[in-house]
Amino acid sequence: MANTMVTQGRTFVALLASFLVYAIPLPGPHAAPLLGGALFGAITRSRGNALTLPTIVFAVAAQILTFLVVWWCLGEKRRRLLLVLYVPVLVVLTIASTLLLIPRAVLIAADDAADNLAWPITCSLKEASVQAVRSPAGGALRRSGEVWVRMGQDGSRLGLMQGGDCTLTALSPPPKGTMHSLLFAVPGGITLESTWDVKAQQTFWWRRPSTTAEAMAVDSMPGGVDGPPILSDDGGWIVVVRRPRPPPASPELLLRRFSDGVSRVVDLAPLERGSFMPIGANLRLDSAGRLDEGTIQLSRSDEEFLTIDLEARQTTEALKPPGVDASALSFRRVETGWAAWDAYVEDRPYTIAWETTAGRGSRVVPKGRGITSLDLDPSGRWIAYSTSAIYNLGGVGDSVIVIATKDGSEVFRHALPGYTRSDVAFVGDGRLAYTWFDGASRTEVRVVSTP
């Protein structure tokens, strides 16, 4: 009877000790939740995610192992010293498994593709990096062979580079404000820029008519601006969505000419409700210089893309790229077609979709990588994109890749150090500019071209 009671007590103690697995803290950047609390929260708040089931399996296995170890160690006094060693090993193994090993196994897929440097370097620019910038829909900036770059080790200065020979024209900064940003660019060095006045807590808007000109303040920016403005295809007009009254009132497009302040308002009420962002505006004048007609490309609710005239009538059927959750910032259109990619996803790998005169298709990026930058060749034959790790788990480098839209085949790949976050930009048919990084401090803009 005594032996039975001892065995039962030993089993009870081992069972209680096994539940201490769920009291192991998991250190994080802002808190250290207990394993049990983290699992309970994941299950109850969102019904779990990809990590929940394997973490539960690990926790149950660790609990069973702990029960067996404690039960065995309690069988003899000399074995109990082993618990002093087992506890820290269990804690370290639990933290390493739940915060590193399981996430890496579940969230990151292997990508063993070798470099394919079939596109040779035609020119390069040291201590510079590509600055991807919004530009007119249709690919005019790509066809011009121009690419904007950040110069210097701190990337504080802007310049316009010619992709044919990498000649550079430096840009003088606006006279007021900090945090100089390039918002939109038209061929010929015509830009829309912004700066931020920290003291006044105010954004200043600037227009530059050429790379050799000083930035000129955009006066009387309209109130109620809803999203970033753009320039018309010729750079002569600013185009912005504004809300004259709070929702449910419809937003409107304001077109304002820089030369004389003439404005045109396009009421978006005829369109289905949603949030709107301008992508491109091709405006045409009559013989007297009055705005006669034009087409404006918009995104609606970050999922549909449409073209309207100056009366807000759709001139083409709305496009919703299949298989991707695109946005106005993850959509590229040229005269020969379009390419789009996931702006943000959590439950699946990032995907690229396209349709051009050369072909249509989609491509899935290996798990654990996000799309940093993407561009579509003006001829519609090539898509270039760069990837970076989306989880801080180590072991994932960056890449710059070019695929053919005809069949999705890979024609160029350059592996780069992690967190390079290279922007890519086509600079003419079959010529690509991207940022190379040595992993320490040196950056370089490289232009490669089809063989």
Q: What mean pLDDT do residues 199-212 have?
A: 88
Beta bridge partners of 335: none
Using CA atoms, how far apart are residues 45 and 43, in angstroms rounded to an integer?
Answer: 6
> Is the CB of residue 180 less than 8 Å from the CB of residue 200?
no
The pLDDT assigned to 7 comes to 64
The pLDDT assigned to 6 comes to 53
pLDDT winner (highest mean) among 194-203, 244-253, 274-283:
274-283
Q: What mean pLDDT do residues 167-179 have?
A: 88
Whether 244 has a pLDDT exceeding 80, the answer reads no
Fill in the amino acid letter for 156.
Answer: S
Going by the DSSP 8-state scheme, the letter that residue 83 receives in this structure is: H
Q: What percent of the chain has pLDDT above 90?
A: 58
The pLDDT assigned to 124 comes to 96
The pLDDT assigned to 209 comes to 93
Fill in the amino acid letter for 161.
Answer: M
β-pair type (359-364, 351-356): antiparallel
Q: What mean pLDDT do residues 284-292 have?
A: 81
Cis before 322? omega within 30: no
| pTM passes above 0.85 | yes
Neighbours of 30 (CB within 10 A): 5
The pLDDT assigned to 3 comes to 57
The pLDDT assigned to 250 comes to 81
Task: Compute the half-sphere exposure of residue 318: CA atoms within 13 Å on the CB side of its CA.
Answer: 12
pLDDT winner (highest mean) among 12-16, 287-291, 327-331:
327-331
The band of 370, judged by pLDDT with boundaries at 50, 70 and 90, is very high
Q: What percent of the chain has pLDDT above 70?
A: 97
Whether 4 has a pLDDT exceeding 70, the answer reads no
Fill in the amino acid letter for 389.
Answer: A
Q: Which residues contact 445 (CB under 8 A, 6 or more apart)?
A: 124, 125, 128, 129, 130, 147, 149, 161, 166, 433, 434, 435, 436
293 vs 221, residue with greater confidence: 293
Fill in the amino acid letter for 409.
Answer: S
The count of residues in the chain is 451
445 vs 347, residue with greater confidence: 445
The pLDDT assigned to 1 comes to 45
The pLDDT assigned to 46 comes to 63
Fill in the amino acid letter for 229.
Answer: P
Whether 424 has a pLDDT exceeding 50, the answer reads yes
Tell me which H or E stretch contains 90.
helix 82-96
Task: State the average pLDDT for the chain.
Answer: 89
Whether 83 has a pLDDT exceeding 60, the answer reads yes
246 vs 136, residue with greater confidence: 136
Radius of gyration of the chain (CA): 28
Task: Compute the half-sphere exposure of residue 172: CA atoms within 13 Å on the CB side of its CA.
Answer: 11
Using CA atoms, how far apart are residues 361 and 353, in angstroms rounded to an integer?
Answer: 6
Q: What mean pLDDT do residues 167-176 have?
A: 89
The pLDDT assigned to 142 comes to 92
106 vs 148, residue with greater confidence: 148
Whether 297 has a pLDDT exceeding 90, the answer reads yes
Please give the structure tokens belonging to residue 310: 């100056």
Q: What mean pLDDT do residues 209-216 have?
A: 90
- 220-234: per-residue pLDDT in tens? 777 767 788 999 999
Among the residue ranges 73-82, 126-135, 344-353, 364-373, the one predicted with the least confidence is 73-82
Nearest to 383 by CA among 320, 446, 426: 426
Among the residue ranges 26-30, 82-86, 93-97, 314-318, the one predicted with the least confidence is 26-30
246 vs 233, residue with greater confidence: 233
